[in-house]
């Protein structure tokens, strides 16, 4: 059973995902890594979330970064969102898409391209649970 | 059978929705109006999209405005998105969330709070189809 | 008779136009491609719009991207606008110029440099008309 | 024969136009004032520009403020643009739409809502011509 | 022993804090509420963090919102940051100050003024720990 | 006697100045070119403005681009400002510094890095005066 | 001999100036207060700077806030700039105009509308000098 | 005893620090240079500030640039902040984090990446004190 599920919206986000899993590895935290687009593969994403027994989801996405919010709407577990930088104001589009969630469906947003901190935040949460 | 489905992400967006349906009414276009949050009611939204026989979806949302994109990911019909203004830079968050969709899942974005133009765009599309 | 007219405001926008026509080609949709500046060739643009029998216009422009709006003011057919990225905040100038249209003259804006989605949106509209 | 033509894209811009004509009046400069939308009344605008014998055009518009650019594309006289503030970042949309013109079609942009300076700039130009 | 510590950088942020504690109360989660400025009362803040036995910190701040980051640098527990809106672009200053943390010191940022989601995120974390 | 004075705030702006003088040359308009910083050489700038018999000033500057405004405050002739792009949001700093002038001291702002349009605007003004 | 000179670019900035002088008064620091526009009264400003024997200048301005930079270019004493908020993105125009000075002509910028901190910064500098 | 302490939040900021110390060297001003992260080494930073007998602190940081503000909260000496540019809007995140300080804890912010001006500002302050 992996502790953390790392999801990317696009294969081009893998560099950011790698930052996250490198930190998790250093702390001996197991993870599962998948590339599933919230917009292009909604059914596959639903199924993955339902089947996953990870404690925390790290969702990495650019542009209109819906992935973290969609995951947060389908699970009650903590969801961490990582905005990926792009041409438009260096990633402000992804940042705002991830952080400005409506009341009741929280996403824990970290900095643009900051896959490391997504992992560090997951570690703080897992430490609190006693899993670590 | 309504020509257009008007969806709001929150009851507070109704003022913008009203702009849209007033224009549709003036052109004798039937519509169905619903408030369903993409983030808070994902299953209800799925079901609604599957059952709807509307030709076009007008999706109105603020903040991290995922509604238009989620609808566009679940139907092959045209989806028009209307960003709703808010505190953060006057609605830039909703605008970017709606317009910056990934390749393959298009949303037709109109101006901030511009429910009128969502309806006018729907009319242009329906005219092309010969429905009007 | 082409289904879609693809217009660029400048030859430098051709890379984005190509993204659109590649998608259209894959779906066997005919198109006409022209480079006509709304600001530098207004009369040529008027004449082109009047003569065109395309069902949908895809208008690609950067900076003060007036092309989509001007076309929308001269035809009643659906107009899709594609903002082209540039130095100033990665294309926010073109995005706002295209999307913030006044009431009554709608443009369907897609993401910055997202020629693909302009074509995908056109396909959704053409599918609805039964042309496809 | 008026020295200056003041054009608004919408009746709601009249407050800004008034700032301009008050300054012109103080300097005994004649002007003509019209409300013509570039997007909603393109033919009326064309006709007006062709018939006008004003030396300078002051064009006031908000949102996707195409009016100054369209006028500049149809006349060789100096065109001064005044962006009108709005909800989205206080008028940045209109400012960028007016100032970021393509090479060869210049608009002289002044500050947001700054109808006064449009008139003061016109006065500097008219003084240079010896009209004043 | 409170489950959650709610800290505000200024008494003027209390309205946002209230949103958080109302949600916590509905879920019978105990909390401690304090107003301590990271910039004006650094020593008091240090002492509070050291003595606190809360599982999670919710830190609410505007402008150059250093509070969440400072707390995150002094504890290994999860820290949730809530940016408070202000004059400058509706709170973008606080949002960026909170979310753009350096590698190794994560803050879980939620939306501008969204005290509710800070609490909802805390609940997701506490549920995972089995405390709830 | 040159028709136009082209002033740069820094030698690094010369590429933009060149765009302007190339257009002027094509129209056989004489010009004088100088690099004088408003902030580092205020006295030299004062003296230059007083002695200049140019009809129009084109002022090119980046960052806190004070040059056009300072010139406009020292002459009654038309002043055209060209913002130079830079790291911070692609030149938004220079654009706002140039365009947002107080009432009574107008600067005619053109697009970012758009030296061409500064020259084209000067040509429109000079044509009006009968100099061309 | 006043310790501090407080300059406003416009009478409308007086509310921010008052914040500064109230803090100075509480610390028994003498000050001189003047309203002089850098753009509208450049000669008066020059004369004032030359005659002033204040140790520090606090310059308060909005829009294209040239006042602090112009003062810094005419004196070798420390100059503190206070951006005044306005319609365009809540004062980002004034902030960037003040802070983005060219190399060699520094302005010490404090927060938007933060007259208090201008005074507090002046106090820190005066304390260092031994004047306090 | 160094006149100035130059602190960087990260080794990657050293290029900006070098700009500052080169200017200080040219004026024969002594300085001490350290890399201490406010977020990662808060205790080391506290100790350094307490022991330092520098007259002025120059603090250089990017992203959520807390360093200048934290130093200003722990000393009564003047603190100069230099925002370091990054991906997100070219350093607007660091600029706002540094300049938007709460009342009572002032930071003297200079331009993005402008290490030179931090030194020039320090020189103006030291000149006033009679140290130079």
Residues spanned by the domain of A46: 4-128
Nearest in space to E95 (alpha carbons), one of E74, E110, E117? E110
Rounded mean pLDDT, H48-76: 97
Residues contacting residue F115 through CB under 8 Å, at least 6 positions apart = F16, F17, F18, F19, F20, F23, F58, F60, F82
- Non-local (6+) Cβ contacts of F129 within 8 A are D128, D129, D130, F55
- Nearest chain A CA: its distance from H89 CA (Å): 5
Q: Which residues of G touch D91 (CB under 8 A)?
A: 87-88
Q: Is G132 a residue whose pLDDT tops 80?
A: no
Cα-flanking dihedrals φ and ψ of residue G109, to 5°? -90, 135
The C-alpha of D88 sits at a distance from chain B's nearest C-alpha, in angstroms, of 4
Contact: chain E with chain G (3+ CB pairs below 8 Å): yes
Which helix (H) or strand (E) segment is A122 a member of? helix A115-129
DSSP assignment of C25-94, as one string? HHTT--EEEEE--TTT-HHHHHHHHHH---SEEEEEEESS--HHHHHHHH-SS-EEEEEEP-TGGGGHHH
- CB atoms under 10 Å from CB of C33, counted, come to 17
* Separation between Cα atoms, residue G88 and residue E90, nearest integer Å: 11
Residue B130 — pLDDT band, cuts 50, 70, 90?
Answer: confident
Is A86 in Cβ contact with C111 (below 8 Å)?
no
Q: B128 CB contacts (<8 Å, ≥6 apart)? A: C55, C56, C77, C78, C125, C129
Quote the distance between the C-alpha of residue E83 and its chain's center: 9
Helix axes E14-26, E115-129, angle to 10 degrees: 40
**F126 pLDDT above the threshold of 80:** yes
Residue D94 · residue D83 · CB < 8 Å: yes
D-chain residues within 8 Å CB-CB of G87? 85, 90-91, 112-113
What mean pLDDT do residues A78-97 have? 97
Do A52 and A44 meet the contact criterion of CB atoms below 8 Å apart?
no
Determine the pLDDT at residue D130.
82
Q: Which of E63, E64, E89 sits opposite G92 (nearest CB)?
A: E89
Per-residue pLDDT band for C126 (boundaries 50, 70, 90) equals very high
Query: 10 Å Cβ neighbour count for A64?
Result: 31
Q: Who contacts F116 (Cβ-Cβ below 8 Å, separation ≥6)?
A: D103, D104, F19, F20, F22, F23
Residues of B within 8 A of A97 (CB-CB) are 64, 66, 93, 96-97, 100
Which strands sit side by side in the sheet containing E108-109, from one edge to the other?
A31-35, A4-8, A56-62, A79-84, A108-109, E108-109, E79-84, E56-62, E4-8, E31-35
The Cα–Cα gap between C124 and E87 comes to 42
> What percent of chain B is modeled with pLDDT above 70?
98
Query: CB–CB of C103 and B117 under 8 A?
Result: yes
Short-list H48, G63, A86, H61, CA closest to E64:
H61
Cβ contact, residue pair G100, F93, below 8 Å: yes
pLDDT > 90? residue C129: no
Residue of D nearest to C9 (CA): D102
- Res. G53 pLDDT band, cuts 50 70 90: very high
User: What contacts H47, CB < 8 A, 6 or more positions away?
Assistant: none
The structure tokens listed for G1 are 């001999």
Interface partners of chain D (CB pairs < 8 Å, 3 or more) are B, C, F, G
Query: Are G37 and G75 contacting, i.e. CB atoms less than 8 angstroms apart?
Result: no
ipTM for the whole complex: 0.97
Interchain proximity D101–F117, CB inside 8 Å: yes
- D10 labeled part of a ligand binding site: yes
Can you tell me which residue has the tokens 């035809």? C75
Which chains neighbour G (Cβ–Cβ under 8 Å, 3 or more pairs)?
D, E, F, H
Per-residue pLDDT tens over the stretch E87-123: 999 999 999 999 999 999 999 999 999 999 999 999 9
Give the SS3 label for residue G54: coil
- Chain G residues closer than 8 Å to F93 by CB: 96-97, 100
Is the pLDDT assigned to residue E70 strictly greater than 90?
yes
Q: How far is CA E23 from CA A101, B11, E116, in A?
A: 16, 20, 6
Task: Report CA-CA distances (Å) from F16 to A102, F55, F58, F59, F87.
Answer: 46, 20, 11, 10, 16
Q: Give residue H58's pLDDT band: very low, low, confident or very high (50, 70, 90).
A: very high
Q: Can you say how many angstroms the Cα of residue F91 is from the centroid of all Cα atoms in its chain?
A: 16
**Distances in Å between the alpha carbon of H117 and those of F39, G78, G106?**
13, 12, 5
Does A95 sit within 8 Å of E124, measured CB to CB? no
Q: CB under 8 Å to G44, separation ≥6 — which residues?
A: G36
The shortest C-alpha distance from E86 to chain A (Å) reads: 16
Entry field: residues in chain A:
132
Give residue-wise pLDDT tens across range D26-80.
999 999 999 999 999 999 999 999 999 999 999 999 999 999 999 999 999 999 9
- Name the minimum distance, in Å, from the CA of E115 to any CA of chain A: 9
Measured distance between the N- and C-terminal CA atoms of chain E, rounded to whole angstroms: 14
Q: Please answer yes or no on whether C78 and B128 come within 8 Å at the CB atom.
A: yes
Write out pLDDT tens, residues E22-68: 999 999 999 999 999 999 999 999 999 999 999 999 999 999 999 99
Q: What local confidence, expressed as pLDDT, does residue F100 receive?
A: 98
Q: Return the residue of A nearest to C113 by Cα.
A: A87
Average pLDDT on D95-115 reads 98
First to last CA, chain B: 14
How far is residue C13 CA from its own chain's centroid? 11
Give me H49's structure tokens.
């500030």
Residue E106, both tokens: 């994560």
Give the percent of chain D with pLDDT over 70: 98
Does residue C131 surpass a pLDDT of 80?
A: no
Residue F110 has φ and ψ, to the nearest 5°, of -110, -175
User: Which residue from A9, A63, A100 is facing B63, i.e. has the nearest CB?
Assistant: A100
Q: Residue H102 and residue E42: Cβ atoms within 8 Å? A: no
Spell out which residues of chain B touch residue C127, defining contact as CB-CB under 8 Å. Answer: 76
Q: Are D100 and C64 in contact (CB under 8 A)?
A: yes
Which residue in G has a C-alpha nearest to residue H116's C-alpha? G103
- pLDDT category of residue H129 using cuts at 50, 70 and 90: confident
As for how many domains chain F has, the answer is: 1
B64 is known to lie in a ligand binding site? no
pLDDT in tens, H115-128: 999 999 999 999 99
Chains G and F touch, using 3 or more CB pairs below 8 Å: yes
Under 8 Å CB-to-CB from G73, ≥6 apart: which residues?
F38, F39, F40, F42, G105
- Residue B62 makes CB contacts below 8 A (sequence gap 6+) with B9, B10, B12, B13, B83, B84, B85, B86, B91, B93, B94
Mutate to test the interface with A, among H10, H63, H87 (most CBs of A within 10 A): H87
Task: Name the residue of chain B whose CA is nearest to E114's CA.
Answer: B63
Is A37 known to sit in a ligand binding site? no
C-alpha span between B19 and B26 (Å, rounded)? 11
pLDDT over 80 at F132, yes or no: no
Alpha-carbon gap: H86 to the closest alpha carbon of chain F (Å): 9
Question: Is pLDDT above 80 for B64?
Answer: yes
- Write the pLDDT tens digit of every residue in C22-61: 999 999 999 999 999 999 999 999 999 999 999 999 999 9
Asked if A touches E (at least 3 Cβ pairs < 8 angstroms), the answer reads yes
Flag whether pLDDT at G6 surpasses 90. yes
How far is it, in rounded angstroms, from Cα A34 to Cα D87?
40
Q: Parallel, antiparallel, or unpaired for β B4-8 and B56-62? A: parallel
Point out which residues pair with F33 in neighbouring strands.
F6
Residue A83: strand pairing partners? A61
Establish, for the pair of chains D and G, how many residue pairs have beta carbons separated by less than 8 Å.
19
Question: Residue H119: exposed, middle, or buried by beta-carbon count in 10 A (0-12, 13-18, 19+)?
Answer: buried
Distance CA A52, CA B28 (A): 48
Smallest Cβ distance to A39: which of B39, B73, B96? Answer: B73
Looking at beta carbons, which residues of chain F come within 8 Å of C86? 90
Condensed to tens digits (0 to 9), the pLDDT of residues C67-115 reads 999 999 999 999 999 999 999 999 999 999 999 999 999 999 999 999 9
Are 3 or more Cβ–Cβ pairs between D and H shorter than 8 Å? Answer: no
Radius of gyration in angstroms for the set of CA atoms belonging to chain H, rounded to a whole number: 13
How confident is residue H51, by pLDDT bands cut at 50, 70 and 90?
A: very high
From start to end of chain A, where are the E strands? 4-8, 31-35, 56-62, 79-84, 108-109
Find chain E residues with C-beta within 8 A of H45's C-beta. Answer: none
Q: Would you state the pLDDT for residue E130?
A: 82
Q: Which residues of C touch B108 (CB under 8 A)?
A: 80, 108-110, 121
Burial of G26 (0-12, 13-18, 19+ CB in 10 A): exposed
Task: Give the tokens for residue E88.
Answer: 């400058």
CATH code for position G75 = 3.40.50.1970
Summary mean pLDDT of chain C: 96
Residue D16: is its pLDDT beyond 80? yes
How far is the alpha carbon of C89 from chain F, nearest alpha carbon, in Å? 5
Predicted confidence at residue G122, as pLDDT, reads: 98
- pLDDT, one tens digit per residue, over H10-26 is 999 999 999 999 999 99
Q: State residue E100's pLDDT score.
A: 98
**Residue B94: closest C-alpha in chain A:** A97
């Amino acid at each position: 059973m992996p502790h953390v599920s790392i999801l990317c919206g696009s294969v081009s986000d893998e560099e950011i995902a790698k930052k996250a899993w490198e930190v998790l590895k250093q702390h001996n935290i197991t993870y599962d890594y998948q590339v599933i687009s919230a917009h292009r593969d909604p059914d596959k994403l639903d199924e993955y979330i339902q089947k996953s027994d990870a404690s925390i989801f790290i969702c990495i996405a650019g542009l209109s970064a819906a992935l973290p919010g969609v995951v947060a709407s389908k699970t009650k577990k903590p969801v961490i969102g990582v905005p990926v930088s792009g041409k438009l104001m260096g990633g402000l589009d992804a940042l705002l898409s991830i952080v400005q969630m409506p009341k009741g469906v929280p996403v824990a947003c970290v900095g643009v391209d900051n896959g490391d901190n997504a992992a560090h935040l997951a570690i703080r949460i897992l430490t609190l649970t006693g899993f670590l």
